[in-house]
Structure 1
Amino acid sequence: MRFLVDECTGPAVARWLRNQAYEVFSVYEEARGMSDDDVLQKAVDENWILITNDKDFGEKIYRDGRSHRGVIFLRLADERAVNKIETLQRLFESYAERLPDQFVAVTENRVRFAQL
């Protein structure tokens, strides 16, 4: 799988994903300041699953009808990188095959695949 890690999600998540042998584009490391619209368009054009904790992407997809190749929306009470990584690890262990082309909201103890 290929992941586009949003700037607000941070470089530690991107490094962890690379260490897990995933292909990663990190907005923080490679395109800091990129607009949300450009991030979403890049993810669509280049077939990346977007990982973000920015709720604006949900609005763009659901309210504005924007397309996507998959979004993992981290809705975490604890925004530390270690918690993001642990949450993603649990998500991948249970749902990796379901992630492409899905909008999934993830908390510390819940996974919800949203319906369009």
Structure 2
Amino acid sequence: MKFLADENMDVAIVERLRQDGHQVWYVAEMEPGIPDDEVLALANREGAILITADKDFGELVFRLRYLATGIILIRLAGLSISAKCDIISITIQEHESELFSAFAVLAPTSIRIRKLG
């Protein structure tokens, strides 16, 4: 799968996704500080699912009706980076077919997936 990791994602998560065989662009390696709408546009251009901890993307897609290939909002505060990497990796494996054109919220013990559009 293709992912765009927002700059608020830890590099260990990016590395884990790459080790899992995914193609991952990382905003921190490309254009740190670009506005959220440009991050979303970049993900869309690449056909990539955005992985972020920034809740503002929910406003962009639900209230302002921006298009998105898919968004995974990470809500894993308080967990070790190792645990975060494992949860994200396993969730992507288990829900791969559901993540396109969806807004997913990933919490420590659950995932909520809402189709966009």
**Fold-level match, TM-score > 0.5?**
yes
1:1-80 → structure 2 map (5 Å cutoff)? 1-78=1-78, 80=80
Match in the other structure for 1:111: 111
Cα offsets for 1:33-79 (capped at 9, x unmatched): 12111100111122110000100001111111111001011112326
Equivalent pair of 2:101/2:115 in contact (CA under 8 Å): no
Corresponding pairs, count: 116
Residue type at the aligned position of 2:12? A
1:87 aligns with 2:59: no
Moved more, 25-34 or 1-10: 25-34
2-side partners of 1:94 and 1:19: how far apart?
A: 17
| Runs of 4+ with >4 A deviation | none
**Aligned residue identity for 1:18:** R
Any gaps of 5 or more consecutive residues in structure 2? none
State the 1:115 CA deviation: 4.5
Aligned equivalents of 2:71, 2:30: Cα separation in 1:
19
> Structure 1 residues 86, 42: CA separation in 2 closer, same or farther (over 3 Å shift)?
same
State the identity as a percent: 34
Question: Are the aligned partners of 2:4 and 2:50 in contact in 1 as well (CA < 8 Å)?
Answer: yes
The worse-fitting range, judged by mean Cα deviation, of 38-47 and 78-87 is 78-87
Q: Give the stretch that moved more between structures: 28-37 or 56-65.
A: 28-37
User: Amino acid of the residue matched to residue 55 of structure 2?
Assistant: K
SS at match of 1:112: strand
Query: TM-score, normalised on structure 2?
Result: 0.90
- Any stretches of 5+ residues in structure 1 without a counterpart? none
Offset from partner CA, 1:88-115 (integer Å, 9 cap, x none): 1221232112111111111000110124
- Residue 10 (structure 1) shift: 2.3
